[in-house]
Amino acid sequence: MEEKKEKVARSKRGNARIQNRVKILMSILNQEDDGKMAEILNECSVSLSFSFTGTGTARSTVLDYLGIGETEKAVMISLIPESDEEKILREIQTRMSLYLVGKGISFTMPLSAISEIIANGITGAATEKTVNGRKRMNGEQRKYDLIVAAVAAGNVDEAMEAARSAGAAGGTILRSMSVDNKKAEQFIGISIQKEQELLLILSRSEGKKAIMQAISDRVGLKTEAGGILFSLPVDHTVGIGATGAETDENAGGRERA
């Protein structure tokens, strides 16, 4: 009975216009391109963006493999209205030249919740816009996941090597700090190093489990690296990738990590 109700609900969503919502757009770009990305977002829609710097903290062989060399990467997280998602990705693909190797990648992810004030502000300029229910992705339709591995400083090269052995094609490194996690440490039963490095890997969904297992075996919680892993669902992507991935039908282009 419940299965039948779910099928009916999916059918209704597929034929109806769905209310607009806010999504995350994550972009990994050459450092000098973040200004151009912000310009595109402001021209196409209303967005709220935050930028982080990815630095080359691994061994040189891994840096070459990741495609970041001695240069820094801009990692931008933007909140955008779903109704403008397709247009934004199309403009990014074309104007940022993400069809060229080494130019970067952009991909969108769903949100489970957001501040009402922020949501109203971002979707306010698109109050008349709705979303085609057929284009809203579900778990069965998604082809990619974002794997996040947080390891103690100095261990990110091992994490990347383990991921590569399981089929990962590349990643991006961010430096971070563990902040007052004493209570969590008591419940988990481990001590988290204060200086951390985050490794972000865009992976095909079918390969995610093997990559995460390989990282966990090499630098997981039971090792000195104390690695913590989780993954996030990815909807649409644009950009050429070391993954050799196929073109995203909804956004155009190919992927890179």
Residue 241 resides in a domain: no
pLDDT of residue 249: 42
Answer with the residue of higher pLDDT: 197 or 66: 197
d(CA 233, CA 175): 22
Q: What's the mean pLDDT when you consider all of the chain? A: 77
Asked whether 72 and 55 are in contact (CB, 8 A), the reply is yes
Mean pLDDT, to the nearest integer, of 212-216? 97
pLDDT of residue 135: 73
Q: Is the pLDDT of residue 185 over 80?
A: no
Both 204 and 108 in one domain: the answer is no
pLDDT of residue 113: 87
Both 173 and 122 in one domain: the answer is no
Q: Is the pLDDT of residue 32 over 80?
A: yes
Local confidence band at 78 (pLDDT 50, 70, 90 cut-offs): very high
- What phi-psi label fits residue 121: left (phi over 0), alpha (psi between -120 and 50 degrees) or beta? alpha
Q: Is the pLDDT of residue 155 over 80?
A: yes
The full length of the chain comes to 257
pLDDT of residue 56: 37
d(CA 81, CA 69): 34
Local confidence band at 9 (pLDDT 50, 70, 90 cut-offs): low
Token code pair at residue 183: 């209570």
CA distances from 128 to 16, 83, 123, 225 (A): 15, 10, 9, 50
H or E segment to which residue 80 belongs: strand 73-81
Range of the domain at 51: 2-58+72-139
Q: Is the pLDDT of residue 40 over 90?
A: yes
d(CA 91, CA 212): 33
Residue 23 resides in a domain: yes
Residue 79 resides in a domain: yes
Mean pLDDT, to the nearest integer, of 67-93? 83
Q: Map 5-72 to HEC letters.
A: HHHHHHHHHHHCEEECCEEEEEEEEEHHHHHHHHHHHHHHCCCEEEEEEECCCCCHHHHHHHCCCCCC
Percentage of the chain lying above the pLDDT 70 cut:
70
Both 12 and 115 in one domain: the answer is yes
Residue 256 resides in a domain: no
Both 12 and 76 in one domain: the answer is yes
pLDDT of residue 66: 45
Q: Is the pLDDT of residue 210 over 90?
A: yes
Q: Is the pLDDT of residue 186 over 80?
A: no
Both 171 and 188 in one domain: the answer is yes
Both 176 and 226 in one domain: the answer is yes
Residue 243 resides in a domain: no
pLDDT of residue 230: 95
Residue 197 resides in a domain: yes
pLDDT of residue 90: 93
Which positions ≥6 away from 204 have C-beta within 8 Å? Answer: 143, 144, 145, 243, 245
Answer with the residue of higher pLDDT: 191 or 230: 230
Both 29 and 132 in one domain: the answer is yes
d(CA 204, CA 143): 6
CATH code of the domain containing 79: 3.30.70.120
Q: Which DSSP state fits 165?
A: H
H or E segment to which residue 172 belongs: strand 172-177
Local confidence band at 110 (pLDDT 50, 70, 90 cut-offs): very high
pLDDT of residue 232: 94
Both 36 and 129 in one domain: the answer is yes
CA distances from 175 to 57, 72, 161, 172 (A): 8, 12, 18, 10
Which of 145-159, 173-187, 188-202: highest mean pLDDT?
Answer: 145-159
Q: Is the pLDDT of residue 28 over 80?
A: yes
Helix (H, G, I), strand (E, B) or coil at 75: strand
Among 140, 156, 76, CA closest to 108: 76
d(CA 155, CA 199): 10
Residue 250 resides in a domain: no
Both 87 and 21 in one domain: the answer is yes
Which positions ≥6 away from 138 have C-beta within 8 Å? Answer: none
d(CA 61, CA 233): 29
pLDDT in tens, 144-154: 999 999 998 88
Both 115 and 169 in one domain: the answer is no
Percentage of the chain lying above the pLDDT 90 cut:
33
Helix (H, G, I), strand (E, B) or coil at 199: strand
Query: Domains in the chain: how many in total?
Result: 2
Q: Is the pLDDT of residue 88 over 70?
A: yes
Residue 6 resides in a domain: yes
Query: pTM (2 decimals)?
Result: 0.74
β-strand partners of 176: 196
Domain boundary among 139, 166, 182: 139
